[in-house]
């Protein structure tokens, strides 16, 4: 079942040689290690997605509905009418090639269909054939082709080799955004019941249970309590957070990656320490426990379906506003979609920091702020005592997560926190950070186990940049503000750049945070010995 | 699918053939059949109708499709806390900042200016990126030259010729070598188009993605610039007659004066072809940029509500159902409930 992952030496020899056949005559090869498993019948049924059934990617027969072509073409027509982005991006590409070598999947695979321009042409060719006069009359000559099962397989292959990171869109002279193409392309595929297991399962669990990993309310509470026990050992302070508490001022929502897996849990400990130190009137929710949104990797309606619970819960609990944790695509949704999809939340108020009094006017409508914004404001007002020497064993660089960088633009806040929480900070080359940041290679629901080769190829560009600072500055820590990063990057580092640990920004902050009444700190949040001077108090 | 070894050169060959055909049609029509009225009057009016209606039709089509979500690509720091420097043009927050961003795209080709080229890993040398502004350079040179050339041509359609047009003409002829004056814009136009064509032929990746639709306008522009240059520098042209024709067309009193050479008709026919082709082609990227939702929307979605005209209701999993489902487990874990105390009959 599992395929052997090639060695880094094998994988780093990337063949940029183009095929001898034109791309339309080169069928997609669905290769193990590159594709993800098919979505399961029960998971599709759980959220009433079309055509639930058991099927396998490897099979000839994908068990499509008989009128699948009609479904796709009608679905495409419908979306062209509903999304100006799609219509425009189908019409105006000039194939200048500026995007070609900007995609991390192209850089890591050399596969020309991973050039954003061709990824879009896969869909555009069908659009031309069916919706434009020239395409109908002149066909292949003008880049138009019929929708066949081969084309459908190609869509499936390449729309699940895109992490919707938008790096290409930054460089495109017209702002053509492959994320839009991929999101809508996946939406079309989902009309036929073609999703991947990793996404479909998470969506089904999130819908019913409240988070992607299907952690039930009592287990959710247990895992947070467990982190608090660890914190008591490290700091000597007993933290008792509340759950589903009505009347709290703030609802805190983060991604499930932060409360179930190493190293996300260490970031979560950072949140818990910070909130306790501030004596913040906040609550967790077991019902709206998930900030991440795998619905966004399925389609707009499913994104809305999962996101809707957050405002509903905020209203039920009667909080004033929402703070969101460190998560990438969660923040793309919070920043660019949540208000439109499920707002405006008139029952909430414009966020005001209870500690500094700062009004977060830029969140006056959505009423949700990022924890990095919240914490940066605290530090700027001198409300936190930080001992950066506790992170002196860490030589840190920062990975901007794509969604936060290019779908929001929060570049300075996390850096400000890092500059206060640690003494040794080094930037990666500028072509690989901030708005030009490279994806971890596993975003948009692709961080499954079976597509490990794809993930290692996709993360190659990011890893190269880390390797650069590892060599140059002895960097041993890669900080990030994304839960998928925290799951995906450790594997990527082990593979390409061993000896580099992955942390959240609030983990480093938690290490540095000097708490009232704490015992002399000898351990960091991972339970590892702190460097030399530990008795700073 | 049949393997097609010459697949890659079919595009440019067809495109070139099409342009040659256009030249032959106008040449044969005027020289052979003497159809100066058709090529001097009917064709330009037809082309103008196609251009304007096609253009408008496309703009209306785009306008009808809504922007359900506000999805700018953010290329710089967001506006958040007052003391953090906000990148106003790359991450616009107000309408004015959006206009600045669009202006930087339209006039300076801001996004293309970011262009980098990949240096793949070789030996111990890691992946790196080099600045690749040459695409930006030739693209911007081409577009400004095209604009200047078009603007200069206004002198055929205006009487008296407005001062700005005369000024541009004089500036454009600054080289002052030979007689007639050499127009720099025309030379740059031709040179830049050749470079843009050459990269499609010589860069394997570009060749791989290029279509007939990409080569055709390039050949057309080359032919237009070449016939224009031939008239100006080689064959000569009776500009008075041409201006008479142009003024007639624009004042809707069309007449074809004598003494206009066939070269002009070829040039004119090619221009008309380009205009007629424009609205149905990728050349619509020009107005398209103004419609691009990743560039023309402000990144202020958290501050101001953005409505979606077709926002669809979803049947999300309600809290009451959740509580009913997990009631006993929640009670045991001490998590507060809406409905206390637990009703014994509601297990699932």
Q: Given an 8 Å threshold on Cβ–Cβ distance, is A25 in contact with B1?
A: yes
Distance CA A510, CA A518 (A): 12
Domain A212-380 carries which CATH code?
1.20.1050
* First-residue to last-residue Cα distance in chain B: 56
**Quick one: tokens of A18?**
């183009």
B9 interfaces chain A, CB cutoff of 8 Å: no
What pLDDT, on a 0 to 100 scale, did the predictor assign at position B9?
Answer: 75
3 state SS of B19: helix
Name the nearest CA neighbour of B301 among A178, A364, A434: A364
- What is chain B's mean pLDDT, rounded? 91
Same domain, B58 and B180: yes
B17 interfaces chain A, CB cutoff of 8 Å: no
Q: Given an 8 Å threshold on Cβ–Cβ distance, is B302 in contact with A177?
A: no
Q: Which of residues 354-383 of A touch B (CB under 8 A)?
A: 358, 360-366, 368, 373, 376-377, 380
In chain B, which residue's Cα lies nearest the Cα of A27? B1
Please enumerate in sequence order all residues whose Cβ is within 8 A of that of A27, keeping only pairs 6 or more positions apart, or say none.
Answer: A150, A153, A154, B1
The answer as to whether B249 is a domain residue is: yes
pTM, rounded to two decimals: 0.94
Nearest-CB residue to A362 (from B79, B280, B293): B79
ipTM: 0.93
Distances (CA, A) of A92 to A151, A439, B62, B279: 22, 26, 11, 11
Contact of A370 with A388, CB cutoff 8 Å: no
The answer as to whether B2 is a domain residue is: no
Q: Given an 8 Å threshold on Cβ–Cβ distance, is A142 in contact with B213?
A: yes
Residue with tokens 């849990």: A265
What pLDDT, on a 0 to 100 scale, did the predictor assign at position B235?
Answer: 85
The answer as to whether B281 is a domain residue is: yes
**Would you kindly state where each structural domain of chain A is located, as residue ranges?**
8-30+50-194, 212-380, 388-512
Determine the angle formed by the axes of helices A178-190 and A68-82, rounding to 10 degrees: 140
**Percent of chain B residues topping a pLDDT of 70:** 93
Name the helix (H) or strand (E) containing A250. Answer: strand A250-253
**Quick one: tokens of A188?**
């079309």
Does the pLDDT value for residue B219 go beyond 90? yes
Does the pLDDT value for residue B346 go beyond 80? no
Q: Given an 8 Å threshold on Cβ–Cβ distance, is A25 in contact with B112?
A: no
Same domain, B224 and B334: no
3 state SS of A523: strand
Same domain, B33 and B161: yes
Contact of A310 with A323, CB cutoff 8 Å: no
What pLDDT, on a 0 to 100 scale, did the predictor assign at position B5?
Answer: 42
A290 interfaces chain B, CB cutoff of 8 Å: no
The answer as to whether B112 is a domain residue is: yes
Contacts of B85 in chain A (CB under 8 A): 412
- B269: domain range? 7-119+128-312
Same domain, B44 and B84: yes
Does the pLDDT value for residue B344 go beyond 60? no
Total structural domains within chain B:
2
What pLDDT, on a 0 to 100 scale, did the predictor assign at position A531?
Answer: 79
Same domain, B94 and B167: yes
Distances (CA, A) of A331 to A254, A404, B145: 10, 6, 43
B253 interfaces chain A, CB cutoff of 8 Å: no
Q: Is residue A346 packed enough to be buried (19+ CB in 10 Å), middle (13-18) or exposed (0-12)?
A: exposed
Annotation: CATH topology of A8-30+50-194: Fumarate Reductase Iron-sulfur Protein; Chain B, domain 2 (1.10.1060)
**Is A388-512 CATH 3.40.50?**
yes
Per-residue pLDDT of chain A in tens (537 residues, 90 and over written 9): 456 899 999 998 888 999 988 999 999 999 999 999 999 999 999 999 999 999 999 999 999 999 999 999 999 999 999 999 999 999 999 999 999 999 999 999 999 999 999 999 999 999 999 999 999 999 998 999 999 999 999 999 999 999 999 999 999 999 999 999 999 999 999 999 999 999 999 999 999 999 999 999 999 999 999 999 999 999 999 999 999 999 999 999 999 999 988 999 999 999 999 999 999 999 999 999 999 999 999 999 999 999 999 999 999 999 999 999 999 999 999 999 999 999 999 999 999 999 999 999 999 999 999 999 999 999 999 999 999 999 999 999 999 999 999 999 999 999 999 999 999 999 999 999 999 999 999 999 999 999 999 999 999 999 999 999 999 999 999 999 999 999 999 999 999 999 999 999 999 999 999 999 999 999 999 999 987 654 444
Does the pLDDT value for residue B111 go beyond 50? yes
Distance CA A119, CA A457 (A): 17
Tell me the mean pLDDT in the region B30-44.
95
Model confidence pLDDT, tens digit, residues B147-200: 999 999 999 999 899 999 988 888 887 766 666 778 889 999 999 999 999 999
Same domain, B305 and B218: yes
Which stretches of A445-532 are DSSP H helices?
Answer: 452-458, 460-473, 483-496, 505-512
Does the pLDDT value for residue B64 go beyond 90? yes
The answer as to whether B290 is a domain residue is: yes
The CATH number of the domain where B268 resides is what? 1.20.950.20
- Which residue out of A148, A173, A285, A317 would a mutagenesis test of the B interface target, given it has the greatest number of B Cβ atoms within 10 Å? A173
CA distance B348 to chain A (A): 13
Please enumerate in sequence order all residues whose Cβ is within 8 A of that of B345, keeping only pairs 6 or more positions apart, or say none.
Answer: none
Same domain, B304 and B331: no
pLDDT band at B213 (very low <50, low <70, confident <90, very high): very high
Please enumerate in sequence order all residues whose Cβ is within 8 A of that of B179, keeping only pairs 6 or more positions apart, or say none.
Answer: none
CA distance A57 to chain B (A): 23
Q: Given an 8 Å threshold on Cβ–Cβ distance, is A305 in contact with B316?
A: yes
Q: Given an 8 Å threshold on Cβ–Cβ distance, is A118 in contact with B336?
A: no
Same domain, B274 and B323: no
Same domain, B198 and B179: yes
What pLDDT, on a 0 to 100 scale, did the predictor assign at position A1?
Answer: 46
What pLDDT, on a 0 to 100 scale, did the predictor assign at position B159?
Answer: 87
Same domain, B277 and B324: no
Triad A14, A489, B115: Cα angle to 5°: 55
Q: Is the dihedral of CA A325, A326, A329, A331 positive or negative?
A: positive
Q: Is residue A13 packed enough to be buried (19+ CB in 10 Å), middle (13-18) or exposed (0-12)?
A: exposed
Same domain, B320 and B308: no
pLDDT band at B10 (very low <50, low <70, confident <90, very high): confident
Contacts of A459 in chain B (CB under 8 A): none
The answer as to whether B1 is a domain residue is: no
Q: Given an 8 Å threshold on Cβ–Cβ distance, is B77 in contact with A412?
A: yes
Same domain, B287 and B343: no
């Amino acid at each position: 079942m599992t395929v052997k992952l090639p060695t880094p030496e094998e994988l780093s020899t990337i063949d940029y040689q183009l095929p001898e056949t034109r791309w339309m005559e080169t069928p997609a090869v669905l290769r193990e290690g590159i594709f993800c498993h098919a979505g399961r019948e029960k998971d599709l049924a759980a959220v009433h997605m079309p055509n639930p059934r058991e099927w396998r990617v490897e099979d000839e027969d994908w068990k499509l509905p008989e009128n699948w072509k009609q479904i796709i073409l009608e679905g495409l027509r419908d979306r062209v009418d509903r999304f100006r982005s799609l219509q425009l991006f189908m019409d105006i590409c000039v194939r200048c090639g500026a995007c070609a070598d900007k995609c991390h999947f192209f850089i890591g695979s050399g596969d020309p269909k991973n050039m954003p321009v061709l990824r879009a042409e896969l869909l555009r060719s069908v659009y031309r054939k069916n919706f434009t006069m020239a395409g109908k009359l002149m066909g292949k000559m003008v880049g138009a082709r019929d929708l066949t099962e081969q084309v459908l397989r190609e869509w499936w292959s390449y729309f699940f080799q895109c992490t919707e990171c938008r790096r290409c869109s930054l460089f495109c002279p017209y702002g053509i955004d492959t994320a839009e193409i991929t999101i809508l392309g996946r939406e079309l595929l989902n009309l036929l019941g073609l999703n991947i297991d990793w996404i479909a399962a998470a969506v089904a669990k999130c819908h019913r249970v409240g988070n992607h990993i299907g952690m039930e309310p009592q287990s959710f509470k247990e895992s947070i309590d467990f982190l608090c026990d660890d914190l008591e050992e490290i700091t000597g302070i007993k933290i008792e957070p509340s759950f589903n508490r009505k009347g709290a001022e703030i609802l805190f929502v983060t991604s499930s990656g932060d409360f179930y897996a190493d190293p996300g849990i260490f970031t979560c400990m950072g949140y818990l320490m910070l909130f306790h130190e501030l004596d913040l009137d906040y609550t967790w929710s077991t019902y709206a426990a998930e900030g991440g949104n795998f619905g966004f990797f399925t389609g707009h309606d499913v994104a809305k379906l999962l996101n809707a619970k957050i405002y509903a819960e905020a209203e039920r609990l009667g909080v004033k506003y929402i703070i969101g944790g460190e998560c990438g695509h969660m923040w793309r949704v919070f920043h660019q979609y949540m208000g439109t999809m499920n707002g405006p939340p008139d029952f909430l108020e414009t966020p005001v920091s209870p500690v500094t009094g700062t009004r977060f006017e830029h969140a006056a409508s959505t009423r949700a702020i990022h924890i990095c914004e919240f914490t940066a404001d605290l530090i700027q007002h001198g409300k936190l005592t930080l001992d950066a020497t506790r992170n002196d064993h860490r030589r840190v660089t920062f990975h901007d997560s794509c969604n936060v960088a290019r779908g929001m633009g929060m570049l300075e806040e996390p850096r400000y926190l890092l500059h206060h929480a640690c003494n040794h900070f080094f930037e990666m080359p500028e072509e690989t950070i901030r708005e030009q940041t490279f994806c971890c290679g596993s975003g948009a629901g692709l961080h499954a186990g079976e597509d490990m080769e794809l993930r290692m190829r996709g993360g190659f560009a990011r890893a190269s940049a880390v390797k650069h600072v590892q060599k140059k500055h002895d960097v041993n820590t890669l900080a990030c503000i994304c839960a998928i990063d925290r799951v995906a990057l450790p594997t990527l580092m082990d593979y390409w750049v061993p000896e580099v640990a992955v942390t959240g920004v609030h983990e480093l902050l938690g290490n540095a945070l000097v708490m009232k009444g704490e015992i002399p700190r000898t351990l960091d949040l991972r339970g590892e010995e702190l460097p030399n001077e530990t008795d700073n108090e | 699918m049949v393997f097609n070894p010459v697949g890659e050169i079919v595009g440019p060959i067809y495109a070139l053939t099409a342009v040659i055909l256009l030249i032959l049609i106008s040449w044969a029509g005027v020289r052979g059949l003497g159809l100066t009225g058709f090529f001097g009057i009917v064709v330009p009016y037809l082309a103008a109708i196609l251009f304007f209606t096609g253009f408008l039709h496309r703009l209306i089509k785009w306008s009808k499709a809504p922007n359900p979500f506000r999805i700018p690509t953010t290329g710089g720091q967001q506006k958040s806390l007052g003391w953090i420097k906000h990148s106003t043009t790359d991450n616009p927050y107000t309408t004015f900042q959006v206009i600045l961003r669009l202006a930087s795209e339209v006039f300076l080709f801001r996004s293309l200016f970011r262009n980098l080229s990949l240096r793949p890993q070789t030996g111990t040398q890691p992946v790196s990126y080099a600045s690749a502004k040459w695409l930006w350079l030739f693209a911007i040179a081409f577009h400004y030259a095209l604009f200047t050339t078009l603007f200069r041509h206004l002198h055929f359609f205006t009487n008296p010729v407005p001062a700005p047009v005369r000024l541009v003409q004089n500036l454009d002829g600054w080289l002052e070598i030979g007689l007639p004056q050499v127009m720099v814009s025309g030379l740059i136009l031709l040179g830049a188009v050749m470079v843009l064509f050459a990269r499609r032929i010589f860069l394997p990746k570009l060749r791989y993605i290029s279509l007939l639709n990409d080569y055709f306008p390039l050949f057309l522009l080359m032919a237009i610039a070449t016939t224009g240059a031939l008239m100006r520098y080689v064959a000569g042209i009776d500009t008075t007659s041409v201006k008479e024709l142009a003024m007639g067309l624009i004042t809707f009193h069309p007449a074809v004066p004598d003494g206009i050479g066939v070269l002009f008709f070829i040039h004119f026919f090619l221009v008309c072809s380009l205009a007629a082709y424009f609205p149905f082609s990728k050349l619509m990227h020009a107005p398209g940029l103004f419609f691009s939702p990743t560039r023309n929307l402000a990144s202020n979605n958290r501050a101001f509500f953005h409505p979606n005209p077709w926002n669809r209701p979803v049947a999300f999993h309600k809290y009451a159902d959740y509580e009913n489902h997990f009631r006993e487990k929640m009670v045991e874990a001490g998590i507060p409930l809406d409905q206390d105390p637990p009703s014994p009959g509601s297990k699932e």
